[in-house]
Chain A
Amino acid sequence: MPTNTIEGYTFAVDDEGFFTDRTQWSEPLAAVLAELVGIEHLTEKHWAPLHFMRDDAAKTGVTPTLRRMQAVGGFDVKDLFALFPGKPAKKMAYLAGLPKPVGCV
């Protein structure tokens, strides 16, 4: 299984670079990775959905989709698009140390 190493952090990833072991994630690492997906600084507004994502995935075993972030997490989809521009669900999953979301909606 491939691993990525960045600034002293080493973590197992899949072919697309998503984490395969959520325990190898940490907040400082997420802050480093954020720059790679075009987010300069993670604010509280970024952390809230990321933490929800991790908590929800821990319960269900599946990375939540945007729709679930809205329906269960109570996040505004518009805000998520603004916070994580372009591919919000994938960027959030990446920064939360979770596998790529597979749900359709």
Chain B
Amino acid sequence: MPSTYAAPAAPTGPRKLALICSKGNLDMAYPGLILGNAAAGEGVEVHIFFTFWGLDIINKKTNADLKFTMLGNTAMHMAELGYLRPGLEHKSMPQLMGQLPGMTAIATKMMKKQMADLEIPDVPEFLDLLEAAGVHMYACKLSFDMMKMLEADLHPGVEGVISAADFIEISAGAQTIFV
């Protein structure tokens, strides 16, 4: 074994970022979009691959209506509850509550309001922003076929429906983030 380890090869050339968005919940749509937008604003070349449920983000028939559910999310708590009793704002909401009819709609509405208050655009407008910023976006061919999606339903910023192998080629030399 060598006594000194070689440092990993320093990346050469301009920085490049590959994002894989695989989830279609509202709260899982934003991380990829925000990171992609931030990177583009820093002069980084950005490629986003939307796959599986992530296709809902670029589907014009679904992307204005992505939802947020409390179910399975144990980090769900409400700052407002702190006014009732100090400390309550850090308590996780009971999972059973998430199953009540209408709860997903309420949680979604709340999250959308919180995002809007922070001047974060909704998902369709966010895609417009990414397109204007020169971010490259692609739909996954396999998921596209599986979901029987129509090309006409894709956001215009999406450059193509490509295979996983295509994306691996495109993302050569990029830092890759899976969401």
A88 within 8 Å of B by Cβ? Answer: yes
User: Residues of B at under 8 Å CB distance from A?
Assistant: 34, 37-38, 41-43, 118-121, 126, 129, 132-134
**If the complex has contacts A87-B41, A87-B42, A88-B41, are A105 and B133 also in contact, measured as CB distance less than 8 A?**
no
The dominant DSSP class at the A interface is helix
Assess whether B37 is in contact with A105, with CB atoms less than 8 Å apart: yes
* Given A66-B41, A89-B41: A71 and B132 interface contact (C-beta under 8 Å): no
* B119-A105 in contact (CB<8A): yes
Inside 8 A of B37's CB, which chain A residues have their CB? 105
A interface residues with partner B (beta carbon < 8 Å): 65-68, 70-71, 76-78, 81, 85-90, 103-105
Chain A residues near B134: list those with CB within 8 A. 78, 81
Centre residue among A67, A78, A89 by max chain B CB count within 10 A: A67
Q: Are A67 and B43 touching (Cβ within 8 A)? A: no
Contact partner, A76, options B34, B43, B132, Cβ 8 Å:
B132
B132 x A104 contact (CB < 8 A): no
Tell me the complex Cα distance, A87–B129, Å.
15
**Contact status of A77 and B133, CB under 8 A, knowing A104-B38, A105-B34, A105-B119:** yes
Interface pairs A-B: 4 shortest CB-CB? A86-B43, A77-B132, A78-B132, A87-B43
Taking a contact as CB atoms under 8 Å apart, the answer to whether A81 and B34 are in contact is no
Q: Who on chain B is nearest to A89 by CB?
A: B41
Chain B residues, Cβ within 8 Å of A65 = 119
Q: Give bound CA distance, A97 to B43, whole Å.
A: 21
